[in-house]
Amino acid sequence: MAFEHTSILCDEVITGLAIRPNGIYVDATLGGGGHALAICEHLVTGRLIGIDQDEAAVQAATKRLQDFADKVTIIRSNYCEIKEQLDQIGVQKVDGILLDLGISSHQIDTVARGFSYRYDGPLDMRMDQRQSRTAKEIVNEYSEGKLYQVIRDYGEDKFAKNIAKHIVLERRKNPIETTAALNEVIKRAIPMKFQKISGHPSKRTYQAIRIELNQELEVLKQSLSEMIELLNLGGRICIITFHSLEDRIVKNAFRKNENPCTCPSHFPVCVCGKLPKGKVITRKPILPTKEEIQENSRSKSAKLRIFERV
């Protein structure tokens, strides 16, 4: 299947990065290369470094960006390794970083990847297929208590306890190996009246399992401050999130880096010595326009936040 993905909030990202024609930019979630292509079109002597852990994305982006091959370096890696990867190619500081934390349309629509509850495929959900553990192991091997915790915390599903219970009961009879089998279990765990008003019953559980498997929130938490440190003065980091858990982490990290002082509020002056690393550009997140949502329904939940190094 061809790697197809419509880049979300693309114009807003380009504006937000405030691209310098001679700057160095990192698209740390390269995907199919849509945002990266738009960045390259604004470069003259500058450079674009693309990072993605998905081999299909790396191949697709390489092809899409071939007209800018002299300006582009593509690396297969997780963005949590951004500093190490940049060190290896001799880059110490950059002028902008982009994170688009959404799943690509290619990943969702490729049945064998197992990301979507809309198709019957294997329970996989790996962002990086070099990883050995899949969603099947989580569903079939986690304790009932651990499953409940994952679905509650990462899926924010009020029926998490019942879903975990039904999963454990089902797997005692037969392993749950496909998305269709998991869907049936989840449907039995959620009252029909709620299914009719809350969308697909599997949506939150799939989100939770995917986040747990790929450690998405931990990677995000661990990477943000380091990415801000990598920025030149005036450099910007743009982050597109798609659910409240991600957005909360980004918002709090930006605020902390803008105001890192840990002194008690009654102190007349700061004595902790922690200095601001920059400023938040977006006090409220930038949202897609009505026109973009109409053209691409998957943009509906997107939020863009921007931070500038000073």
pLDDT on residue 48: 98
Domain 10-106+217-309: state its class. Answer: alpha beta
Please report, for the chain, the start and end positions of each structural domain, with discontinuous segments joined by +.
10-106+217-309, 112-214
Can you tell me the distance from the alpha carbon of 292 to that of 188, in angstroms, rounded to the nearest whole number?
36
Place of tokens 């559980």: 205
For residue 257, pLDDT beyond 70: yes
Lowest mean pLDDT among 139-143, 159-163, 247-251, 262-266: 262-266
Can you tell me the distance from the alpha carbon of 70 to that of 84, in angstroms, rounded to the nearest whole number?
22
What confidence category does residue 192 fall into, taking pLDDT thresholds of 50, 70 and 90?
Answer: confident
For residue 127, pLDDT beyond 70: yes
Can you tell me the distance from the alpha carbon of 4 to that of 216, in angstroms, rounded to the nearest whole number?
22
What confidence category does residue 262 fall into, taking pLDDT thresholds of 50, 70 and 90?
Answer: confident
For residue 245, pLDDT beyond 80: yes
Report the pLDDT averaged over residues 98-109.
Answer: 90
Q: How far is CA 100 from CA 31, 86, 89, in A?
A: 9, 19, 23
Handedness of CA 81, 60, 235, 214 (dihedral sign): negative
Contacts of 258 (CB under 8 A, 6+ apart): 276, 277, 278, 279, 280, 307
pLDDT on residue 4: 55
Can you tell me the distance from the alpha carbon of 180 to that of 186, in angstroms, rounded to the nearest whole number?
10
Q: What 3-state class would DSSP assign to 174?
A: coil
What confidence category does residue 255 fall into, taking pLDDT thresholds of 50, 70 and 90?
Answer: very high
pLDDT digits (tens, 9 = 90+) for 13-70: 999 999 999 999 999 999 999 999 999 999 999 999 999 999 999 999 999 999 999 9
pTM score, whole prediction: 0.92
Lowest mean pLDDT among 42-56, 214-228, 266-280: 266-280
Q: Which CATH number fits domain 112-214: 3.40.718.10, 1.10.150.170, 2.30.40.10, 3.30.70.270?
A: 1.10.150.170
Locate all alpha helices (DSSP H) within the chain, ordered by sequence.
Answer: 10-17, 34-40, 55-64, 82-88, 105-109, 135-141, 144-155, 160-173, 179-189, 192-195, 203-214, 216-230, 244-258, 290-295
